[in-house]
Structure 1
Amino acid sequence: MRNRNNRLICTSEYVSINGIDQFLYHLGTSFDNPVMLFLHGGPGSAESLFTGLFQDRWEEIYTVVHWDQRGAGKTLTKNPDKLPTIDLMLQDLFEVIQYLKKKYNKKKVVIFGHSWGSVLGSIFIRKHPEEAEYYIGAGQVIGMVENEQVAYNKLKEVIEQAGDKKSLKKLESVGEYPGSKIVFDKEFLRKCNIVHKLLGKYKLGMEMGIDIWIAMFKSPIFKFSDIIAFMKIFKANSKVHSFLGDFNLRRESKEYKVPVYYILGERDWQAPRVVAEDYFKDIKAPSKDIFIIPNAGHFLMMDQPDLVFDALSKISKKEKSRQYSNN
């Protein structure tokens, strides 16, 4: 594997986790830095191929480890029949952290959750607060039904303001959306596809620009099997989608035992920034802070890499200071 930046730490490997070989990709500049475990989105959308777009400066302050989760990326390619449930993924996550703590001689790790990864991370830090130094949620998901309702309402407002009758007719053809509970069946997916295409048209949703695909092909760990894995993720993650459809952080206690930080894209309506901001106001944690990244959407790390790095630097400094004062 090519070590593009001549990093001290540059390793890709398969590790036996919870009975199957799972893929980890490590990048960093010092064994003394905190270890950050990056939980990717989806479910099933491994982001280990895109590190070149946003991560170079992160590696100066963290050893960043990408994990292709069960049902995603290289782990899915290696284990096409070992498919995820939420319970399996939480156990996988626990075992990955045990492996990283031993490998890097750390007592805890920093957990960074993006999109679906923010769901997995938020559940995990409630279940195992002793494993996390602190938690960072990016594109933080609060609840799927609320997220889709807020995104739909914003989209309708923008389309009406634009006087776009054709798009409004398309949107209204969806009918009630998303309903009181999300079930990932064919009918919901049909409606979801219409809504999210319109979100993309008005730059309110997820944008996969050409630069993202170029970065994927240039990645030192890219293989053509990664494309095949990406095409299989929806079917592979069907049981996790069932869980995700009913997910709602507001039903849980707002008290956290670990520091919590959110980094949100100002124009993110995929996981609406306004929903996460509203929820964040009421949480209680040993330390907390929120960073709104201007002119950034759901892929905020790729939209504004320098500003996201600035937020991470502030979080890192704040945590070092807090830990120093506690000792």
Structure 2
Amino acid sequence: MKNKPNRLIYSEEYVCINGIEQYLFHSGTNYNNPVMLFLHGGPGSAESLFAYMFQEKWEDVFTVVHWDQRGTGKTLTKNKDKYPTIEVMIKDLFEVVQYLKKKYNRKKIIILGHSWGSALGSIFIKQYPEEVAYYIGVGQVINMIENERVGYEKAKELIIQCNDKKDLKKLKALGEYPGDKFDDNFMKKCMNIRKIQGKYNLAVNLSFSMLISVFKSPILKFSDISAAIKGSKANKNLLAFLFQFDLNSESKEYKVPMYYILGENDWQTPYVIAEKYFEKMNAPYKKLYLIPSAGHMTMIDQPDLFFDALIDINNKEKTNIDLY
């Protein structure tokens, strides 16, 4: 692991969390900065490997901590047979937060949840609002089935506009989507939909350049590649949970300040669904940022505009003594 910018805070460690050794990656420039815990997507997709691509500026404002969740990345490599359920994940997250509060002498932690991490984060802040300074949702998941339905229809719309008969045939060959059942057939269809969406810049495109980015990561180990391949199997319980996930079925009352940073080109977790939910949400304070020309990986697609949003949020919240 190389610390090229010579950050004051730059370390990897394994910490005993809920009975197993789990991986944390810390980076920052000032021990007095508020601490942000980044909850990655997937489930099963470690975004710690991509941190170098987007968060260097963040570290002037926050101490950023990436956690490879149970069943993901370096934590999965260390614990090959420890697969997560949602109940276990909430307990894991609670213990990670307690550890960070103690390590950095903080009363509360900022939670940033991306994609699957936004579902996990939203559940956690409802259960433990006293632990959280504020919440940032990126690629926010509201209703997974609705996400898939809207994303499918958007792909179909663009295919028809482009008069791409080959892709339209591929889409029709998938049959009814997303359906109402989580099984292997749904997962196969979902992967095919993602490929089509990626072609039209509606979802994350697993391109050659994306793979190169992974290999350039300063914290990459070859075992991370194996863990990524095994991620879906290790997180099958969470994927089944996520398929039925629906924030609309719960109270829209939140006890912490709420921020959403959404990509205007994100149709993997369609921003239009999160916008609609956000309007109905009640919180001590809330603000939504819609980032133009950004997709599901909003912070990578438009890093400067994303950072501007973080600065605006920090300026609003920095007078909150509970951060320190």
TM range (shorter): over 0.9
Corresponding residue of 1:177: 177
- Moved >4 Å (runs of 4+): none
- Between the two proteins, the alignment pairs up a number of residues equal to 322
Q: 1:289 and 1:128 mapped to 2: Cα distance?
A: 21
Corresponding residue of 1:303: 301
Cα deviation digits, residues 135-165 of structure 1 (max 9, x gap): 0000101111000010111111111122122
Query: Aligned AA for 1:291?
Result: Y
Alpha-carbon shift at residue 215 of structure 1 (Å): 3.2
SS in 2 for 1:281: helix
Which one is further off, 195-204 or 19-28? 195-204
Alpha-carbon shift at residue 209 of structure 1 (Å): 4.0
SS in 2 for 1:232: helix
Asked if residue 143 in structure 1 is aligned to residue 118 in structure 2, the reply is: no
Contact 2:199/2:205, CA 8 A, preserved across alignment: no
Alpha-carbon shift at residue 124 of structure 1 (Å): 0.2
Alpha-carbon shift at residue 194 of structure 1 (Å): 2.5
Cα deviation digits, residues 75-94 of structure 1 (max 9, x gap): 00000011100011100000
1:224 maps to which of 205, 217, 222: 222
Q: For 1:72-83, what aligned pairs fall within 5 Å after superposition?
A: 72-83=72-83
Cα deviation digits, residues 287-308 of structure 1 (max 9, x gap): 1000011101000111111110
Cα RMSD of the aligned pairs, angstroms, is 1.3
Contact 2:265/2:295, CA 8 A, preserved across alignment: yes
SS in 2 for 1:41: coil
Cα deviation digits, residues 98-130 of structure 1 (max 9, x gap): 000000000000000000000000000001000
Contact 2:39/2:118, CA 8 A, preserved across alignment: yes
Corresponding residue of 2:240: 242
Q: For 1:105-116, what aligned pairs fall within 5 Å after superposition?
A: 105-116=105-116
Unmatched segments (≥5 aa) in structure 2: none
Q: 2:265 and 2:276 mapped to 1: Cα distance?
A: 15
SS in 1 for 2:280: coil
TM-score, normalised by the number of residues in structure 2: 0.97
CA distance 1:55–1:209, change in 2 (3 Å): farther
Identity of aligned residues (%): 62
Unmatched segments (≥5 aa) in structure 1: none
Query: Aligned AA for 2:154?
Result: K
Contact 2:86/2:241, CA 8 A, preserved across alignment: yes
Corresponding residue of 1:287: 285
TM-score, normalised by the number of residues in structure 1: 0.96
Q: 2:209 and 2:156 mapped to 1: Cα distance?
A: 29
Q: 1:195 and 1:47 mapped to 2: Cα distance?
A: 22
Q: 1:293 and 1:53 mapped to 2: Cα distance?
A: 18
Corresponding residue of 1:44: 44
